[in-house]
Every structure is written in C-alpha cells, then in structure tokens.
Amino acid sequence: MVRPAQVFREKQDIDLRTGHRVESIDPANKSGKGATSEGKAFDFSYDKLLLATGSRANIPDVPGVGLPGVFALKSLEDGRRIKQHIAKTPVRKTVVVGMGYIALEMCEALRSRGIEVHMVKPGPIFIPWLNPELADAVRQEVEAHGIGLYPGHEIKRIEAEKEVMTVVCSDMELKGEMVLLGVGVSPCSELAAGAGLSLGPNHSVAVDRFMMTSDHDIYAAGDCADAYHGVTGKKTWIPLALRANRSGWAAADNVIGRKVALQGVVGTAVFKVFDMQIARTGLSVKEAQDFGFDSAETVIRSRSRAHAHPGASGIWAQVVGDKKTGRLLGAQMVGKEGVAHRINAAAVALHAKMSVEAFSQSDLAYAPPFGPTWDPLLTAANQVLKQL
C-alpha cells in the first residue's frame, strides 16, 4: 500500500522530512548531516538511528543506459515513467535486459498491451537457480507467448536513432522503441559503509537477529539489511517484501527496547509469468553445493488436480535433500495452478529443520479439485528419499 507523506505527519505525528538527503553519519557523536533538495545543508542528532535506505536497481555499465527510452524497474516512479513513455511514443517492440523475476513479470505486462518483447542477458542459462527441467517448462510458456529469449549475449551498448533503440550485443542487435533494464537490485548501503558499520553479503548492512547493526545505537531494516538463512545458518541478502516488512516491525520494537528476535529467511520466493507460477524455497542444488552440502535432487512431474478431475495441468516439483544428514534443503515447483501456496509447506519444513523423511510423512490437504492424493512435494520427497 502506498501512503502519502502527509499521512505519516498528520496521523502518526512523525517528523517526516522528505527532500532531505543524509550524506554522512557520525556514530561517535550520534549525529549526521546532509543537504536538502534545494541544496541547503542540515544536520541532526539521534538516540537511536534506523537505516531503511532500501535497494536500487542495478544499471549495466555500458554506454547508452541514460538515453531517454531506457528505463530501470524498481520504484513506483519508474512504473509511472514507463507508462508515460508508452502513452506518448508508439511502442511496438521492447527489449528487456535481464531475465529475473521483475524482467519476466514486466514482459507479461508488456505483452498484455500487445507489445512485442525480446529478452536478452549475458548469462547463458535462462533461469540459472531453477532446476533445468523446471526452467524448460517456464521457457516453453514464455516462448509460447511470443517472447524472444536471448540468453548468453553480452550487452555492449544501447543506441538511439529517433524513436528506435538498439541494444547492441557482441554478436547481434535487438531493436525496439523502449529498453527495460531488469538486472537485479543492490542494497543502498553507502551511508552505513561511510559510518564504518559492518557490511554483509552483497554489501548489505549487517544486522543481528534484533536488526541491530555493528553499532549498538544504529539499526537497519528493509531491503538494505542482511538476514540469517535458516538452512545454512549463514548471512544472506534476499531483498523481498515479507522480510523487509517484518524487519521493519522488529526494528521498531527493538529501537524502543522491546526485544524481538527474527529467525531469518529460508529463501522462499514466488512469481508468475503468463499462466505459469514459479516458486522456490531453500537452496538450489548449486547453492547446496556451494555451502558444502552433499545434496541429492529429484524432479517429478505431477498434476494440479486428481486423476478423475477435469482441468488438470502439469506440476513439476523438485526436492533437494542432504545425503549426510537426511535433512530437507530446498524445493522448487512450477505449474499453472496450485504452485504458489504449496511451496509454503516446504518453507515451514525448512524452518523446522525437518528431515526429508519427516517432511514426506506430512499430512497435507487433499481433495480432487486441488491435487492428487499425494501432494507433488510429497511425491518428490518420497523419490529423493531413495537417494539419501
């Protein structure tokens, strides 16, 4: 929900200073300074400081990214600017740089406006964190909607000639009236770094379970802050809405002295592209290997409804287990229905540090309109058990 600044000032009596850029913090003196949008210097002092500086869209370091008609995809303002551009320029084709959640969600939005979409990125694999069989099902869905997918093409520059933009790669070119950059986000942690605070993965602001930074009077919450990963026990940076929101509540509690510890995340995420739902939780096989697990993986294909029930579509489910301990490490699913919320069962199992065997015995919901007797995650768990 988007609330105007006035609501905070009037309803919550918060001294909300928009147009004030904080440029540095001095933890030793518990103060900071900056400049307003009119260039006027200001300073402030604090008892407790909360950094909620968020993240910003990554911009590829190539010529032409600043051209009109090239847009990043992060803020509400970005969305408005894109809509304005489409309203005033006849956009028939768009080149999307990147193939992550946001890039794929945008390509669906553009397609629904009748705009042709090509997606390009340097990496050779369509969705690298997704099991290849699952990624292939998503790719088929995306291509069935006429999206051109060009992974493995390094972007050299973006050029404009009148209204036509060209994304120039080392070995090909893609043209359109708009270029969207959807190549991930990075934490806005410069203030924290400048104040000498410890940083975490991806240069996020390192916080403990109470959202406290390395300075006892400075907290951080939202996309700028890191988190503990419930599977690895290590720090991670996964800037998603639920954690951002939850960490805000926890930081507020802790700032006023009401101790609230957060468990951390397990890497649950879901998105939709056209009719396909893609969900994950925990570690991919690659991540499991990187963290030193000796992992086993199974992919099964199941159905979204019981055998006798009409209207079923395919569900692909993947489960990753640890050969050494038998523990559940992660799960992924794709399919046209019943994927988005099903993944939550595995997410809770990860928080509980369940073994694959214990998870496979879960009493999950069954009725013919909603799935087969054995939930796809249970079938996948039963299969991976044979390798553990």
CB closer to a copy of itself, 174 vs 377: 377
DSSP letters for 77-124: HHHHHHHHHHHHS---EEEEE--SHHHHHHHHHHHTTT-EEEEEESSS
**Could you tell me the smallest distance in angstroms from the CB atom of residue 92 to a copy of itself?**
26
184: number of Cβ within 10 Å: 16
342 contributes a contact to a copy of itself by CB under 8 A: yes
- Please give the angle made by the CA atoms of 31, 33 and 37, to the nearest 5 degrees: 150
Among residues 192 and 356, whose Cβ is nearest to a copy of itself? Answer: 356
**Joined tokens for residue 7:** 């609501």
In the sheet that holds 93-97, the strands lie side by side as 70-72, 178-181, 93-97, 116-121, 148-151
Angle, CA 196 vertex, CA 195 and CA 200 arms, to 5°: 115
Q: Is 262 in the site for a copy of itself (CB under 8 A)?
A: yes
**Shortest distance, position 74 Cβ to a copy of itself, whole Å:** 15
Region of 112 (left: φ > 0; alpha: ψ -120 to 50; beta: rest) is alpha
Binding mask 281-310 for a copy of itself (x = CB under 8 A): x-------------------------xx--
Separation of first and last alpha carbons in the chain: 45
Stretch in the footprint of a copy of itself (CB under 8 A) among 30-38, 143-151, 251-259, 350-358: 350-358
Under rule CB under 8 A, residue 380 binds a copy of itself: no
**Residue 112 CB, nearest approach to a copy of itself (Å):** 12
For residue 29, the 8-state DSSP code is G
- Is residue 367 a contact point for a copy of itself (CB under 8 A)? yes
Instruction: Rule CB under 8 A: say whether 359 interacts with a copy of itself.
Output: yes
- The answer to whether residue 338 forms part of the interface with a copy of itself (CB under 8 A) is yes
- 257: region left, alpha or beta (phi > 0 left; psi from -120 to 50 alpha): left
Nearest Cα neighbor of 273 from 335, 209, 322, 201 is 335
DSSP, res 191: H
Task: Please identify which residue in 349, 380, 381, 385 interacts with a copy of itself, judged by CB under 8 A.
Answer: 349
Q: Closest approach of Cβ 158 to a copy of itself, in Å?
A: 29
Residues 6+ apart with CB under 8 A from 43: 31, 32, 33, 34
Q: Which of 32, 69, 230, 321 binds a copy of itself (CB under 8 A)?
A: 230
CB of 277 to a copy of itself, least distance (A): 8
Per-residue string for binding with a copy of itself, 152-181, x by CB under 8 A?
------------------------------
- The answer to whether the CB of 135 falls within 8 A of the CB of 126 is yes
User: Which of 96, 165, 188, 279 lies at the binding interface for a copy of itself (CB under 8 A)?
Assistant: 279
CA 354/CA 352 separation, integer angstroms: 5
Q: At its nearest, how many Å lie between a copy of itself and the CB of residue 266? A: 5
Binds a copy of itself by CB under 8 A, chosen from 55, 268, 284, 383: 268
Q: Show the site string, 80-119: x = touches a copy of itself by CB under 8 A, - = not.
A: ---------------------x------------------
| Token couple for 230 | 């419930």
Part in contact with a copy of itself (CB under 8 A); list of ranges 41-49, 60-68, 175-183, 277-285: 277-285
- Selected from 96, 97, 104, 265, the binder of a copy of itself by CB under 8 A is 265
**Measured CA distances, 368 to 199, 301, 380 (Å):** 49, 17, 19
**Residues within the interface to a copy of itself (CB under 8 A):** 1, 101, 230, 240-243, 245-246, 262-272, 277, 279, 281, 307-308, 338, 340-349, 351-352, 354, 358-359, 361-367, 369-371, 373-375
